[in-house]
Amino acid sequence: MKSKRTIIVVALLAFITGIFLYGYKFDEAQYITQEKHSQVKIYASGEADFERIEQAGLNLDHVEAKDNYVIAWLSSTEIDLLKKSGVPYDITVKDWMQYYNAQPKMTETEMRLAIEHSKNDFNVSHSIYGSMGGYLTFQEVINKLDSMRLEYPGLISAKFSIGNSFENRPMWTVRVSNSPDAPTGRPEVWFHSLIHAREPMSMEQNIYFLYWLLENYNIDPYATYILRYRELYFTPVFNPDGYEYNRSTNPNGGGMWRRNRKPCTGNIGTDMNRNYGPYAFWNWSGGGSSTSCGSDTYRGTLPFSEPETNNAQLFVNSRNFKGVLSYHTYGNYFIRPWGYSGLPSPDENIFQNFSADMVLQNQYTVGRSLQTVGYTVRGTTDDWYYNDSGHAKIIAMTPEVGTSSDGFWPPQNRILPLAQSTVWSNIYFALACGGYTAPERTSLNKLSYSPGESGSLKVNFKNKGLIPAQNVKIELNSQSPYINISGATFSYNS
């Protein structure tokens, strides 16, 4: 009789376990296929229109602003909310995945030629192409960091984690300088990307800039100076769980999951670029994030409630960063604080001067979020980095790489051009986060000179950096055999 009862109990436990496991699989299955997304032209031209959209429960993000409309990629749920707002719109691309899958794929020959052009134009011979529709997977990024360390051990540290994600993946980071194995006390700059999991181009440009620095040391004067006099940190995949989720659902690329993977009430995921503090910014009465779990701009339960943002908070407070660039896609913008209020920061002039020089080559639009995309955002990286709460004030900006036609997953043949488009911006930012003296104006006393005639050249220099420039040596050299410059060496501090 005892043995029969044991058999019955074991059978009952097995039955209950089977129900539980079946329920778990069924519950998880709703997240296996991602929601349909469409490109939408929204005829919102003023704050009143954006307020109507927000009041309907839709918090826009990553739009490209035109004169009287904005372009955005929205999920079916978000389009329903847009419809509820009453703001007119047109759907310009019905199905993102059909659109993405129809994009031309590069052949191996085309990729090889693109890398050859990269070598000729930027002296970067390493590939940044990966197996996920041309983009690097999380594991491939890890492999790249490891191979960089093996090839350039005197310029890049072994990877280290600034903390683990909700699903226990490391947030791998590297230190880059000509003395990479320990902090140097030099001005520190942090570059991070993929805080939004559907924006792999943000990561690709950081990997490319890493290669540009490593391959051009002792070749290019900017790369050499930066690695000798700055200390750079790179966290290419800020949101490893979300990025891995996109790989699992869309192994050929194109996955549109944005948030992290920590469960919330009735859904999964927090927008980590709405989860930063301080509390007054995170909870700003003007809106700029969602309080609804399931929204792509869900802000979380409290500032830094997510493991990943808390890791970033601890990391920043442990370092002495002068500047941070938090890379995103898309819009061709350089966005500066304040995001939560839309008002100018106390250092508006510094931000303006920085961004004006940073966009000389790529011609990105610069401004605060209210100026660039037309609405405010609260709980962002830039506002907390810039606000001196637990750390010294940091000059922080958000570059948005690519246009609306590039989208979140630009075509493969756009990967290298877009990565190259940010190289100068990154160079300038790294330079200006320390002391950086550069010529501002030049003038001659005459427009033309006869053979043998002397003249005067006036050059105005300015320290465009954040800290005093020490032991500056200026040399003026002629590149023409017909011009001789005398007395052209100067030294000073600024």
CATH code at position 88: 3.30.70.790
Q: Which two tokens stand for residue 228?
A: 């000798």
Domains of the chain: total: 3
Distance CA 315, CA 210 (A): 20
Q: How confident is the model at residue 492 (pLDDT cuts 50, 70, 90)?
A: confident
Residues contacting residue 244 through CB under 8 Å, at least 6 positions apart: 138, 167, 169
Run of H or E residues at 382: helix 381-386
Residue 224 lies in a domain: yes
Task: Tell me whether strands 321-326 and 188-192 are parallel, antiparallel or unpaired.
Answer: parallel
Run of H or E residues at 7: helix 2-29
CB-count burial class (<10 Å; 0-12, 13-18, 19+) for 294: middle
For 379-391, the pLDDT digits (tens) are 999 999 999 888 9
Distance CA 379, CA 212 (A): 32
Which residue did the predictor score with more confidence, 274 or 457?
274
Identify the CA nearest to 196 among candidates 252, 256, 277: 256
Query: Hunting for tokens 């990967």 — which residue is that?
Result: 415
Distance CA 329, CA 409 (A): 9
Instruction: Work out the mean pLDDT of the chain and round it to a whole number.
Output: 91
Residues 206 and 66 in one domain: no
Residue 29 lies in a domain: no
Q: Is 286 left (phi over 0), alpha (psi -120 to 50) or beta?
A: alpha
Residue 79 lies in a domain: yes
Whether the pLDDT of residue 18 is over 90: the answer is no
Residues 137 and 184 in one domain: yes
Residues 96 and 132 in one domain: no
Q: Is 339 left (phi over 0), alpha (psi -120 to 50) or beta?
A: alpha
Q: Which pLDDT value is given to residue 12?
A: 35
Q: Which residues pair with 365 in a beta bridge?
A: 333
Question: What is the pLDDT averaged over residues 304-316?
Answer: 99
Q: How far is CA 199 from CA 116, 331, 342, 478, in A?
A: 26, 12, 24, 45
Q: What is the largest CA-CA distance in the chain?
A: 120
Residue 130 lies in a domain: yes
Q: Is 254 left (phi over 0), alpha (psi -120 to 50) or beta?
A: left
Domain boundary among 401, 432, 463: 432
Residue 6 lies in a domain: no
Residues 144 and 114 in one domain: yes
Whether the pLDDT of residue 246 is over 50: the answer is yes
Q: How far apart are the first and last CA of the chain?
A: 94
Question: What is the pLDDT averaged over residues 338-347?
Answer: 97
Q: List the CATH number of the domain containing 186.
A: 3.40.630.10
Distance CA 366, CA 372 (A): 7
Residues 159 and 217 in one domain: yes
Q: Mapping DSSP to helix (H, G, I), strand (E, B) and coil, where does residue 157 land? A: coil
Q: Can you give the pTM of this predicted structure?
A: 0.90
Q: How confident is the model at residue 32 (pLDDT cuts 50, 70, 90)?
A: low
Percent pLDDT > 90 in the chain is 76
Domain of 345 in residue numbering reads as 108-432
Residues 169 and 44 in one domain: no
Whether the pLDDT of residue 321 is over 60: the answer is yes
**Type of residue found at 369:** S
Domain boundary among 432, 452, 473: 432
Whether the pLDDT of residue 482 is over 90: the answer is no
Catalytic residue (one of 199, 204, 306, 400)? 400
8 A C-beta contact, residue 213 and residue 232: yes
Residues contacting residue 205 through CB under 8 Å, at least 6 positions apart: 193, 327, 401, 418, 419, 421, 422
Q: How far is CA 223 from CA 161, 178, 359, in A?
A: 25, 11, 18
Whether the pLDDT of residue 366 is over 60: the answer is yes
User: DSSP code of 390?
Assistant: S
User: What sign results for the dihedral spanned by CA atoms 326, 332, 337, 340?
Assistant: negative
Residues 352 and 484 in one domain: no
Put the strands of the sheet holding 231-235 in their side by side order: 160-164, 170-176, 231-235, 188-192, 321-326, 395-400, 333-336, 365-368
**Stretch among 233-247, 411-425, 464-478 having the lowest mean pLDDT:** 464-478
Question: What is the pLDDT averaged over residues 202-217?
Answer: 99
Whether the pLDDT of residue 331 is over 70: the answer is yes
Please spell the DSSP secondary structure of 229-265, one letter per residue.
H-EEEEES-S-HHHHHHHHHH-TTS-----S---EET
Please spell the DSSP secondary structure of 13-30, one letter per residue.
HHHHHHHHHHHHHHHHHT
Identify the CA nearest to 223 among candidates 325, 320, 232: 232
**Stretch among 33-47, 73-87, 138-152, 207-221 having the lowest mean pLDDT:** 33-47
* Active-site annotation holds for 400: yes
CB count within 10 Å of CB 490 equals 12
Q: Which pLDDT value is given to residue 214?
A: 99
Residues 143 and 90 in one domain: no
Task: Tell me whether strands 170-176 and 231-235 are parallel, antiparallel or unpaired.
Answer: antiparallel
Residues 424 and 447 in one domain: no
Q: Which pLDDT value is given to residue 31?
A: 44
Whether the pLDDT of residue 2 is over 80: the answer is no
Residues 85 and 132 in one domain: no
Query: Angle 449-452-454 (CA atoms, 0-180°, nearest 5)?
Result: 60
Percent pLDDT > 70 in the chain is 93
Residues 46 and 156 in one domain: no
Residue 50 lies in a domain: yes
Whether the pLDDT of residue 20 is over 90: the answer is no
Distance CA 336, CA 372 (A): 10
Query: Hunting for tokens 């739009």 — which residue is that?
Result: 63
**Stretch among 38-47, 59-68, 122-131, 134-143 having the lowest mean pLDDT:** 59-68
Q: Which pLDDT value is given to residue 336?
A: 98
Question: What is the pLDDT averaged over residues 25-54?
Answer: 76
Residue 204 lies in a domain: yes
Residue 3 lies in a domain: no
Residues 424 and 461 in one domain: no
8 A C-beta contact, residue 71 and residue 404: yes
